[in-house]
Structure 1
Amino acid sequence: MLAKTAFAAALLMITTAAAAATPPYQHHVKLTPENVAVGNFPAQKKPILTVASGATVRIDGGGGGRWQDKDPLVWAREEGITLTPDQASALRETDKVLKEATRYAGIDSGHLLVGPIAVAGAMPGDAIEVRILSVEPRIPYATVSTRPGRGGIPDDVPEPYSHTVKLDLARRVGIYEPGIEIPLGPFMGVMGVLPPDSEGSNRRSGPPGTFGGNLDCKDLIAGTSLFLPVFHPGGLFYTGDSHAGQGDGEVTVSAMETANTAILQFIVHKGMKLAAPRAESPTHWMAFGLDPDLDKAMQMAIRQTNSYLFDLKGLEFKRAFTLSSIGVDFRVTQVVDGTQGIHSMIPKKIFVNDKTPFWSK
């Protein structure tokens, strides 16, 4: 009993310390049935919040729901998971939302998404920069799973399997099992605007697209910006699919699935016309290639990288392409979302005379 009490007290101290370091924000979107969509981007859903360009929003996400018909707190106890009161509330919120959220177009399951959030002044032909100020797990565990017919080797999986990974938030690791620890890198698997009309009014959230969505890019962590093209007035931003960490490829179709709180700043860039998402970190620029065929996704990533290098540095095709071959890494983002992903990592350090600070404006 004393050991459990000490562990609970330690968890509370960790939560308190994290809260003290929370970036300031102007708006707080809570995880409620009214604030979510499940498995798709419903065009008929009205904005849950409209913010000015430059505004910062705290978004409480859901996830980690592996308890099926059980009470989530009973399930957690059976899994040996100790919860603080805030963490227990986060599980209750996810459970309530899954039971009560409105489903659209007969889509009953899929990503638990919060949104849409409208950004005033954003219009088609603009871009919205999503500055990822903070992403932190709300619960002290994650799950990773697989099942027949899914993942990177769908014919090799004999039966469904789910594994609970306990999160040591103080040491920033996920404990897969004793002696195997995975560094945490919390991020939101889904970040995107409402897809264009050509994608339909209830576009499923599984495959990513030019609008962003289920990019499942492990590099979109706190301290990174994601740039998204706008297709509708206000952009209409959604996020969800909380991850505590992931490997490149996400080969089972699952990362460390958890529930995160994300603090995001939204900035409208007028006239920034993008053909696909882009991203920037303190050390890299990133371009994305997306296609059901991984080879074609690679080709798109190369072309988007060439375009990004032209916009950034004025490098015409032959210089951008040859520089990409010797100085840019191309990573397999994921191979499991129907539309597969490649993203490039353009290191800033190769431009030795560029001293522009990140997030300087």
Structure 2
Amino acid sequence: MSAAASRPAFPFTALVGQAALQRALLLAAIDPAIGGVLVSGPRGTAKSTAARALAALLPEGAFVTLPLGASEDKLIGTLDLEAALRESAVRFAPGLLARAHGGVLYVDEVNLLPDVLVDVLLDAATSGINTVERDGISHTHEARFVLVGTMNPEEGELRPQLLDRFGVMVELATPYDAAERQRIVKARLAFDADPQAFGAAHEAEQRALALRIAAARGVLDGLVWSDAVHERAARHSIEAAVDGLRADLVMLRAARALAAFEGADAVSPDHVDQVADGVLAHRRRAPPQRPDAPSRAPPSAERDRTHAEANAGADADWGELPPEPVAAAQVKGVIPLPAKKR
């Protein structure tokens, strides 16, 4: 085993200035059916460090990286068709989805992947199942993993259809607070100097967090959503003018995962409020509103109303513009006309 492979991951509990990302990753670890976490931000904001740190908390501890040039077969696996015909048995060669089962599948620069691979990734992340079909022969296996996709907005965006299928999005930015930058750098330098000692200093916190994740997974299915919780999720989605109903479903799952992580007896509207921003960040089509602000109609309704008001009135001509005052200037060499007598 190489030194890089044996090197421990940076402790999840030692991450600095990554509260939103940490919570999103924990919720996805508790309920992978949330659909994966999309992390947007510039280089050097610890995206891969956080993903590796999460994998170290999970029982299997698998951390699988999908390279940009990977083929579909490398991702989903392959079937030996000759063996199937000769021996009437399915021989399956596992792909990256099978290797990531129970752990984290990390995709750097997911916005640069072919759409077909992103579709496969998101399908498996949400369903927890991978199916390989070739010439009428199929093989299905479990593929429950936490999908973490990262992207740098400067290098291109994901299509809206693919964006919507990611469960939660976290937008990172370069920290410009001097004290926070010092804490981040000091922690990283201490880890690089002696990874084993640094990990040992956080071992108790890591163990407690791993047990907390396992406990939350155990009670997840026992928590139900009340009508008040459903209504709160619906209101958030309506105010954000999202397309479809996926935001409501993800918001409810994320709120339930948060309630399980906190050890709550039931999911509350407050849990919905806490996860709403991450669920709506990449789906929102209307600006966020203050809690006391009146509800606003979706953009399409606003356009229809504005158009109707602009064209109201029987005497209005189509395309007519209101008169605007124009300053008059005297032109030299032109004799003014005498005023008309009344």
**TM-score, length-scaled by structure 1:** 0.21
Higher share in strand: 1
**TM-score, length-scaled by structure 2:** 0.22
Return the index of the structure with the highest Cα Rg: 2
